[in-house]
Amino acid sequence: MRSKQDTLYVGSLAKGLRLLRAFDEEHTELSLAELAQRTGLDKSATQRLANTLHVEGMLDKDPDTRRFRPSHAWLQMAYAYYWSDPLVGQAMPKLIDLSQDLGETVNLTELSGDHIVYVSRLPCKRTYFAATIVGRRLPALSTSAGRAMLATFPAAERAAAVEGWSLRRFTPTTTLDRDEIGKSVEQAVRDGYSISTGQMILNEIGVASPIIGPGGRAYAAVQCSVSAHTWTRDRVIQEIVPKLQDTANAISPSFQTQRGGGFSGA
Amino acid sequence: MRSKQDTLYVGSLAKGLRLLRAFDEEHTELSLAELAQRTGLDKSATQRLANTLHVEGMLDKDPDTRRFRPSHAWLQMAYAYYWSDPLVGQAMPKLIDLSQDLGETVNLTELSGDHIVYVSRLPCKRTYFAATIVGRRLPALSTSAGRAMLATFPAAERAAAVEGWSLRRFTPTTTLDRDEIGKSVEQAVRDGYSISTGQMILNEIGVASPIIGPGGRAYAAVQCSVSAHTWTRDRVIQEIVPKLQDTANAISPSFQTQRGGGFSGA
DNA sequence: TTTTGCGTATCATATAATAATACACGCAGC
DNA sequence: GCTGCGTGTATTATTATATGATACGCAAAA
């Protein structure tokens, strides 16, 4: 049915991508049948597409169980991404310094629609698995990083975002009240950083400072997560925030002018 | 021409993947014409495939320059990979401890054909960019990690690998003499670890210890890179190797039995 | 101004993807 | 040990779908 834009839309390619997207936290290894079920494609199509992805090295296949798994090529995609994102190269050395200085986990996040994406992570303490790996997407409104970035936007956009961006409950203490989130964002406007507690994980304090880009708008942030067992909000503000802001500010200059915020997604 | 396996090979999908692979260290941002040139596809095909990838969120497009770039989805691929690789979850906390203990860069690498892939990196010191990001592929024979893993293979396989696996020059001091590499591997067989100098970068000392998997064969290794300006080979062996081996050995047990080395690529 | 290169859009053609079908295998229950 | 189900695999005729030549508009270069 040549759905989207008719002639310049290749359905087979799109279907192949659906196979790739079928793998996530809870589906780490899929059989042909599962793949077909999860993608909604019929058995034959799944077979052909999965086979192609296997031959092309995008999917590994267990010779015994015949189940498919993401291949190392998936990591190479990240490798290529890192080279293409000018921010990463600028930020990395400074983030390393910061993490060594603080002795706490430091992250680089970017805005992606109404979500944030962890682009680089420098774990210094043992934490839960998801906090140690890159590529995670979280609703921006539920994270200190998202709020810190949003705080650099014009008031009208802030309000619209607080109103409309997606939310999801992660812990019993995740804030779902948009008014409260709005206040947190406005606080970040005044402070120049954002701090939050127990949004993604219980007893976790997150604090973030925006990396100012073109037009004064931030599309990235330096973020730091610490345990509420060893830290208090006040101590974080006194001891971490200044260094966090210094780091973010040190990264910002290179991005004031170039790269006009462009590069839109679909 | 339905090249590979005729009926269960979807050419359009494979072509789409070629577009993705066109992005690398030196090609971080490509125009339609460049994309066509690099993939060998004609203009129309490139146009349709790139458009599809854009619509599906795999490629960002600068509205002004009309050039394409890897999107955040490329990082999400890495995210999915991490969940699917059982080794990462097991290793991560121990790697964090090790890096904090040593105060030096610690890496987790896996074997992928005759190359190694950096699966996780915990940089503690500023280094060159490529050493801070995951997904990099390097010829196994040129790396301490590759040699450490190879050393766990049967003698015949070791010999065949030393003879046949690919090599490439990275620095003036990269060893291209296969006899010498063979000796290094045999040394690793005796020592249980491998150490090398200036293979990838001048004045860099690399040392690696294998993570023993099923059948006593290693498909992964814990690796550590330090600067020859502040370290000597002997000091590395005395101060780093023991802790490195402890860490690798602590990760190994879970992989002695399960996951029969399977999951072959194409 | 002319030329060149690029991104975009359209269209007739037949190639290449489709989905139905059939077979082989392992496993559960009976 | 037989039967039936679920799976992975393989083959086929059919036509929908991807193709690539062609043409247009717009820049920047000559």
> pLDDT value at position B263?
58
Contacts of A147 (CB under 8 A, 6+ apart): A140, A141, A181, A184, A185, A188, A194, A196, A208
Mean pLDDT of chain A: 93
- Is residue B263 within 8 A of residue A61, CB to CB? The reply is yes
- Is residue B85 within 8 A of residue A141, CB to CB? The reply is no
Residue A118 has pLDDT above 70, yes or no: yes
CA B62 distance to own-chain centroid: 30
Residue A117 has pLDDT above 50, yes or no: yes
- Is residue A140 within 8 A of residue A165, CB to CB? The reply is yes
What mean pLDDT do residues A149-174 have?
97
- Is residue A19 within 8 A of residue A8, CB to CB? The reply is no
> pLDDT value at position A265?
53
d(CA A37, CA B37): 37
> pLDDT value at position B256?
60
- Are residues B24 and A97, on separate chains, in Cβ contact within 8 Å? no
d(CA A138, CA A171): 13
pLDDT digits (tens, 9 = 90+) for A133-153: 999 999 999 999 999 999 999
Max alpha carbon distance in chain A (Å)? 61
> pLDDT value at position B6?
73
* Structure-block tokens of residue A182: 């709005």
- For residue A69, give the nearest of B60, B84, B124 by CB distance: B84
> pLDDT value at position A3?
47
> pLDDT value at position A40?
93
Q: Which CATH class is domain B80-255?
A: alpha beta
- Find the helix packing angle between A43-55 and A32-39, rounded to 10°: 110
Residue A4 has pLDDT above 80, yes or no: no
Mean pLDDT by 10 residues, chain B (266 residues): 66 96 96 95 93 96 94 98 96 97 97 98 96 97 98 97 97 96 98 96 96 93 97 97 97 63 50
- For residue A63, give the nearest of B15, B129, B264 by CB distance: B264
> pLDDT value at position B265?
52
pLDDT band per the 50, 70, 90 thresholds, residue A252: confident
All protein residues with a CB under 7 A from any atom of strand D: A 1-2, 7, 9-12, 31-33, 43-44, 47, 66-67; B 7-8, 11-12, 15, 41-45, 48-49
d(CA B245, CA B223): 10
CA dist list (Å): A111 to A117, A222, B259: 6, 12, 37
d(CA A190, CA B88): 40
Q: Which CATH class is domain B6-71?
A: mainly alpha
> pLDDT value at position B260?
41
- Quickly tell me which residue has 């200190």 as its tokens: A144
d(CA A213, CA A85): 14
Helix (H, G, I), strand (E, B) or coil at B230: coil
| Percent of residues, chain A, with pLDDT higher than 90 | 89
Long-range contacts of A200-205 (CB under 8 A, 24+ apart): A200/A138, A200/A142, A200/A143, A200/A170, A200/A171, A200/A174, A201/A128, A201/A131, A201/A170, A201/A171, A202/A171, A202/A172, A202/A173, A203/A227, A203/A228, A203/A229, A204/A228, A205/A231, A205/A233, A205/A236
Ordered by start, the domain boundaries in chain B are: 6-71, 80-255
Helix (H, G, I), strand (E, B) or coil at A175: coil
A61 CA from C25 C1′ (Å):
18
A29 CA from C30 C1′ (Å):
33
Would you call B20 an interface residue with chain A, using a CB distance cutoff of 8 Å?
A: yes
CATH topology of domain A79-255: Beta-Lactamase (3.30.450)
Max alpha carbon distance in chain B (Å)? 60
